[in-house]
Structure 1
Amino acid sequence: MIFRKGELFSGPGGLSLGITSARVVDSSGNEYSIKHEWSNDFDESACKTYRRNICKNIDDPSVIEGPVQELDIESLPPIDALAFGFPCNDYSIVGEHKGMSGDYGPLYSYGVKVLNYHNPKFFIAENVGGLQSANEGKAFIQILRELGEAGMGYTITPHLYKFEEYGVPQKRHRIIIVGIRKDQNLEFKIPAPTTPNQYVTAYDALNNPPILDFTENHEPTKHNQKTIEMLNYIPPGKNAWYEGIPEELRLKVKGARMSQIYKRLHPDEPSYTVTGSGGGGTHVYHWEEPRALTNRERARLQTFPDHFVFEGKKEKVRQQIGMAVPPKAAQIIAEAILKTFAGIEYDSIEPKWTFKELVKEEKVPYMI
């Protein structure tokens, strides 16, 4: 059984790479997999990256570049699955916390529109952990309700995944919502962590195997001498506010001090969260060498293989990498979905929330 996948806000294809890499075989020898059918994103560089790596064709018309607001949903080919990492800008703990009142907050509704028209058998939606608390928790409830009521109706299972527990060498926590169409009569269970007690470290990610100098997207960042001198005083795991930095090298910052500013990785731990934007001090820094990581090193922390080449200028590549879903985590979740359809048992854990519990806590009428 091959599920045809549509995707919104597809970015460079981290979610798609993981999903389309998933394969399971049932007791009768039938293989279950997911294939790309169409995708949409407004960013030119991300679309080029997606075409090159997911479609293997830089001119593939199935990757539709443009604003999701202008997408002709009814003209899109039929699909069995929908994936969408709807923009997180207004739900992130970093920023203005606009939630539903921001420009990006309501964009999840385009996923609802696809569900209403195409009625795929399942969907995967992704967003930051801050979604749970946006608009005093009401945004999360509204999104879950609309997804559950879309089309023919979906049984939804939201969970806060800690990706370092699934083999990703990065402390990246994201909400993944899996919905299975109700007429399928299937129950999705949260796949159990694969590395709960032995995380993949930053050292493992960047050195096993070493990155070859001629690898694409591996250009170094140029630093001024003061930054290099400051980094030399910062131990692994510490940041720009480390007390051992001489006064003349310290940053002159008033107000809030973000913990990730010039923070160096610790070689024996997973990385802290790789981001797609931000000024000086937010690029993730090597534990030994006084420098920021290259884009290829950041891609390693996101579990992209070295043969996955990102298109665009250096900052555009950084943006794509930081905004992507780690393919390794996406594959594990997709395999659990395929096992659900194939009737294959797998180790699972309880979800962080159930919709009924969330609604009860918020005292919002339960509609589904």
Structure 2
Amino acid sequence: MIFKKGELFSGPGGLSLGAKMAKIKDPTSGEILKDWGIEHKWANDYDPDACSTFGKNICGDPDDSSVHCGPVENLPIGDKSILGEIDCFSFGFPCNDYSQVGEKHGLNGKFGPLYSYGVKVLREYQPKFFIAENVGGLQSANEGQAFIQILLELQDCGYTLTPHLYKFEEYGIPQARHRIIMVGIRNDLAEEGIEFKVPAPLVTDPSDYKTAYDAITNPPIPEDASNNELPKHTERVKKMLSYIPPGGNAWHADIPEELRLKVKGAKLSSIYKRLDPKRPSYTVTGSGGGGTHMYHWNELRALTNRERARLQTFPDDYVFIGSREAVRKQIGMAVPPQGAQIVFEAVLKTFAGIPYKSTDPSFDVEILKEKQKLLFEDLSPDQKQFVFNI
């Protein structure tokens, strides 16, 4: 079965590359089942550079007409003469308002409500399955109510949900990136026995995690690789970096007073933080000011965008389009393709009836619903709105 996939908030294509790479094998012969896979049908993002990157790498053309660039509010969801029929759907709805390093506006922020367009797609198209992704901070936004609200709306579209907090370093990704991924199987198919299970971690011993050193140096990045321009720094920054050991940051005790940052407030751990070559990297991010670009464990510089792409498991021939900062944003906001591939392959195995090792999901939707009921059943409508807006 070949599933045709639609996607919202597609970014540079991390989820779609993972879907494209997803293959399953015959458990007896070990041969790849060529009649099982996922094909791109249409996608949308508001960022022109990300759309060009997606088109070039996923479709083979930066201007491919199946990539609809513009605000999701203007997308003709449901008009199947433009956005054709699909069998599956994915959306990594914007995380800005749920991130632990953001202002945590949750559903009340500018980006928080955008998940509702994914809900609209599910209602209009009723695909066989969907995959939704967001940051781990989603579970605590709006006192935990944002997560429950989103789960309830997805469930009400007619889907059996399996939400789980994936720790990507446990799946062979060289990065401590923790994301909530929600897999939904359409209820009629779930009733027929199509039951998705969370794929079990591939690495259980932290000493076996893939390291940042491994990801960036093995094999060496080709000299002609795209998006690999070396960043430039002032002598002051390079001198400060020389006092910071691998794994350390701008607040390290060995930094001389005259080189210390004069910053009031919280001492963010990611400021001028150098990678520890013996561990997975810390989370690759898509934005931030000076000192947040991730720093090499040995050389006195920030990482190149290609090195950051390596930590995100993009292949070296994946070309990102845009300015250096635009590319940085695309890479940081993406889902690691190899992580997405693992989830998509588990879904394909579910539909093909091929068993695989699994683990218990992090969340039970019914327990979360009961918790919400117990917390809020005695509150007046005004009190509920007050709590929800915290």
Post-superposition CA distance 1:190-225 (Å, at most 9, x none): 000112221000010010001122210001111000
Residue 167 of structure 2 corresponds to 162
Residue 322 of structure 1 corresponds to 332
Secondary structure in structure 1 of the residue aligned to 2:24: strand
Counterpart AA for 2:202: T
Q: Does 1:335 align with 2:345?
A: yes
Q: Does 1:308 align with 2:313?
A: no
Post-superposition CA distance 1:113-148 (Å, at most 9, x none): 000000000000000001000001111001000001
Q: Among residues 186, 189, 195, which one is paired with 1:184 in the alignment?
A: 189
Written as runs of structure 1 = structure 2, the 5 A alignment for 1:239-250 is 239-250=249-260
Provide runs of 4+ in structure 1 moved above 2 Å.
Answer: 25-31, 360-366
Q: Does 1:220 align with 2:254?
A: no
Residue 15 of structure 1 corresponds to 15
| Separation of aligned partners in 2, 1:344 and 1:137 | 35
Residue 252 of structure 1 corresponds to 262
Residue 384 of structure 2 corresponds to none
Residue 202 of structure 2 corresponds to 194
Counterpart AA for 1:68: V
Post-superposition CA distance 1:15-45 (Å, at most 9, x none): 1000111011456956310000000000000
Q: Among residues 168, 173, 176, which one is paired with 1:171 in the alignment?
A: 176
Residue 106 of structure 2 corresponds to 99
| Separation of aligned partners in 2, 1:139 and 1:9 | 19
Q: Does 1:293 align with 2:303?
A: yes
Residue 91 of structure 2 corresponds to 84
Query: How many residues matched?
Result: 364
Q: Does 1:130 align with 2:137?
A: yes
Residue 347 of structure 1 corresponds to 357
Are residues 188 and 365 of structure 1, via their aligned partners in 2, closer, same or farther at CA, if it must alter by over 3 Å?
A: farther
TM-score normalised over the length of structure 2: 0.91
Counterpart AA for 1:94: V
Post-superposition CA distance 1:81-103 (Å, at most 9, x none): 00000000000111211001111
TM-score normalised over the length of structure 1: 0.97
Are residues 364 and 43 of structure 1, via their aligned partners in 2, closer, same or farther at CA, if it must alter by over 3 Å?
A: farther
Contact 1:92–1:130 (CA under 8 A) maintained in structure 2: yes
| Separation of aligned partners in 2, 1:27 and 1:236 | 44
Q: Among residues 71, 76, 89, which one is paired with 2:75 in the alignment?
A: 71
Post-superposition CA distance 1:292-332 (Å, at most 9, x none): 00000000000000000000010000000000000000000
Counterpart AA for 2:7: E
| Separation of aligned partners in 2, 1:27 and 1:239 | 47
How much identity, in percent, do the aligned residues show? Answer: 64
Task: Indicate the RMSD between aligned Cα atoms, in angstroms.
Answer: 1.3
Counterpart AA for 2:229: E
**Shift of residue 362 of structure 1?**
2.7
| Separation of aligned partners in 1, 2:266 and 2:124 | 46
Q: Does 1:269 align with 2:279?
A: yes
| Separation of aligned partners in 2, 1:115 and 1:71 | 14
Contact 1:26–1:343 (CA under 8 A) maintained in structure 2: no
Counterpart AA for 1:48: S
Contact 1:23–1:31 (CA under 8 A) maintained in structure 2: no
Secondary structure in structure 2 of the residue aligned to 1:74: coil
Structure 1 residues not aligned, in runs of 5+: none
